[in-house]
């Protein structure tokens, strides 16, 4: 295992310390492993809390800040955060306007966020609404999930819901909007190589030198099928066609087109992929309103990519374009 770490047991804690040192505008609660907006709780604003296993950076900690999340809970690598963490985050961002939990659909995450919401209601009286993200079209029910997995759509949802909360919208409205974004988002990913969880010390799965996995999850969990390596244009079709037919996205629809790197794939290749994805969308008459290209929801050093489409209208686009200031997404401020 070749990694820039000290001790596999300390990776998450030390990365959080690095976040704290690099981003003084954020507050890091090292004990609870939380990344918080420096000004949380923001008076009058709905608090947005997300979180999940580490190893997907910049998700979620890199999306904490003005216009996006109020707090992110960092679990161990590829492991759900525990209820106490989520409870602490919920309490820290609750300014009385309620708290939205943004939960990727993995069994452990859903259970622990549920438990935290119950504890919060009992202990602090916080009003909590949870929205579960399940945008992955690859598989139903997998290693860590009942139903579809939550993947790239999470990034889009956190941006748009964050902008709505920043505008002062009430909890029910922010939650409804988040559900809308999830309902209009579909994703699918693929891997060229595996990844190694530091504590495990060996690759999560094996993939032959001439194979790739289509429909991979962000923890290396199995996808739809293992196929021989293929050119980018065929890979793009394997990802985009199932996405398009799933919602479905229709001629004339406008989308945010998000081509995500899994961690080990160079940006050069992501733009080659983006070119192929855009070509397929043009062929279907689907119009790209905004784009995002880069590693935003990763699986450690896995080589591969995912594609996420979110169907948007003017309101969603305005919220996407609204100012945001986080370590990983920033514009307008």
**Where on the chain is the footprint of a second copy (CB under 8 A)?**
2-7, 11-12, 14-19, 21-23, 54-55, 57-58, 62, 77, 192-193, 209, 212, 229, 231-233, 235, 257, 259, 263-276, 278, 288, 291, 293, 295, 298, 300-301, 303-305, 325, 327, 330-333
Structure tokens at 311: 């169907």
Nearest distance in Å: CB 42, a second copy: 20
Q: Which of 23, 56, 60, 101 is catalytic?
A: 56
Structure tokens at 287: 């119009």
Which one, 129 or 237, has the nearer CB to a second copy?
237
- Who's near 28: CB < 8 A, 6+ residues apart? 16, 17, 19, 20, 34, 35, 36
Q: Which of 23, 60, 219, 284 is catalytic?
A: 219
Residue 284 among the catalytic residues = no
Nearest distance in Å: CB 98, a second copy: 30
Q: Which spans in the chain are helix H?
A: 11-22, 83-93, 107-123, 153-166, 171-183, 232-246, 267-283, 314-321
Nearest distance in Å: CB 21, a second copy: 4
Element (H, E) at 129: strand 128-133
- Who's near 21: CB < 8 A, 6+ residues apart? none
Which one, 21 or 44, has the nearer CB to a second copy?
21
What CA–CA distance (Å, rounded) separates 161 from 158?
Answer: 5
Residue 219 among the catalytic residues = yes
Nearest distance in Å: CB 289, a second copy: 10
Which one, 28 or 97, has the nearer CB to a second copy?
28
Residue for token pair 């009286």: 125
Catalytic residue annotation: 56, 219
């Amino acid at each position: 295992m070749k990694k820039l770490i000290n001790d596999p047991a300390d990776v998450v804690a030390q990365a959080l310390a690095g976040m704290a040192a690099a981003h003084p505008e954020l507050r890091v609660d090292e004990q609870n492993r939380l990344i918080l907006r420096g000004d949380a709780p923001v008076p009058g604003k709905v608090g947005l809390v997300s979180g999940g296993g580490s190893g997907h950076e910049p998700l979620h900690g890199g999306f904490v800040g003005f216009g996006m999340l109020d707090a992110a809970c960092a679990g161990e690598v590829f492991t759900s955060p525990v209820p106490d963490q989520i409870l602490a985050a919920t309490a820290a961002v609750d300014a009385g306007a309620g708290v939205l939990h943004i939960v990727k659909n993995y069994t452990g995450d859903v259970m622990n966020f549920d438990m935290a919401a119950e504890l919060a209601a009992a202990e602090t009286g916080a009003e909590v609404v949870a929205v579960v993200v399940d945008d992955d079209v690859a598989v139903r029910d997998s290693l860590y999930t009942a139903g579809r997995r939550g993947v790239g759509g999470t990034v889009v949802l956190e941006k748009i819901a964050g902008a709505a909360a920043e505008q002062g919208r009430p909890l029910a409205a922010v939650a409804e909007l988040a559900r809308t974004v999830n309902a209009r988002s579909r994703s699918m990913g693929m891997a060229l190589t595996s990844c190694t969880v530091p504590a495990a010390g060996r690759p999560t799965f094996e993939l032959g030198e001439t194979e790739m996995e289509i429909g991979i999850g962000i923890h290396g969990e199995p996808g739809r099928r293992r196929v021989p390596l293929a050119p980018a244009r065929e890979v793009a079709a394997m990802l985009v066609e199932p996405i398009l037919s799933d919602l479905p996205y229709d001629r004339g629809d406008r989308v945010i087109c998000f081509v995500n790197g899994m961690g080990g794939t160079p940006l050069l290749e992501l733009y080659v992929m983006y070119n192929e994805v855009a070509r397929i969308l043009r062929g279907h008459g689907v119009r790209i309103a905004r784009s995002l290209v880069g590693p935003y929801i990763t699986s450690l050093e896995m080589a591969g990519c995912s594609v996420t489409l979110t169907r948007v209208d003017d309101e969603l686009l305005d919220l996407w374009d609204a100012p945001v200031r986080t370590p990983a997404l920033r514009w307008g401020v």
